[in-house]
Amino acid sequence: MSNADCPNRFRVRPAEPQDCPDILRLIKELAAYENMPEAVKLTEEDLLRDGFGPRPFFQCLVAEVMQDEQKAGPNIVGFAMYYYTYDPWVGKLLYLEDFYVMDDFRGWGIGTELLKILSQIAIDSNCGCMHFLVVVWNKPSIEYYMRRGASDLSTEEGWHLFKFDKEHLVRMAAGE
């Protein structure tokens, strides 16, 4: 059954400060799915400060199941966390940091609706593209994105993603 068949099963809306506990719950579920449950150090307070303060670092959409479909489970069943960044080759881009729909609610069209809204946000913001990461073993997600026209930059352009952890940032800042 598609969302078109039951347009009132769920809605996607911008996250609000009171959604932080649910957003953190979904972040932890995603981390567990990616076999990294201990990696989440974030707190509800961090989300509140960083997403809803005077200078938000991220924006977020949430997918909310309507009351009659809820059945005593959580009301917020999916989310998409994103922010804007800049690429000196293409200009503005929307970076999709996290995208997750709870397993019991997959197949409802929630992911498709989240991507549709994110795409419109990117277009309205004059972004040249949307970037995101997918763990290499997550074949269902890779296939999902590629069916929708995503390019795998690691194979097509040969890019590698690197990071400096906080310890190394402190060392470099100290001139070590």
- pLDDT at residue 68 in the model: 67
- pLDDT at residue 104 in the model: 92
> Per-residue pLDDT averaged across 124-151, rounded?
91
Give the model's confidence band at 153: pLDDT under 50 very low, under 70 low, under 90 confident, else very high: confident
- pLDDT at residue 96 in the model: 96
Question: Helix, strand, coil shares of the chain as percentages rounded to 5?
Answer: 40, 20, 35
- pLDDT at residue 24 in the model: 98
pLDDT tens digits, one per residue of 80-105: 999 999 999 889 999 999 999 999 99
- pLDDT at residue 71 in the model: 64
For the domain made up of 10-132, the CATH class stated in words is: alpha beta
Positive or negative, the Cα torsion across 104, 27, 35, 135? positive
Average pLDDT, the chain: 89
pLDDT tens digits, one per residue of 27-67: 999 999 988 989 999 999 999 999 999 999 999 999 999 86
- Would you say residue 109 has pLDDT above 50? yes
CA–CA distance, 55 with 140 (Å, rounded to integer): 35
**Would you kindly state where each structural domain of the chain is located, as residue ranges?**
10-132
What is the side-by-side order of every strand in the sheet holding 91-101?
10-14, 59-65, 76-87, 91-101, 129-132
Q: Which residues are catalytic, by number?
A: 145
| Predicted structure pTM score | 0.86
- The larger pLDDT score, comparing residue 12 to residue 151, is at 12
Give residue for tokens 């579920």: 29
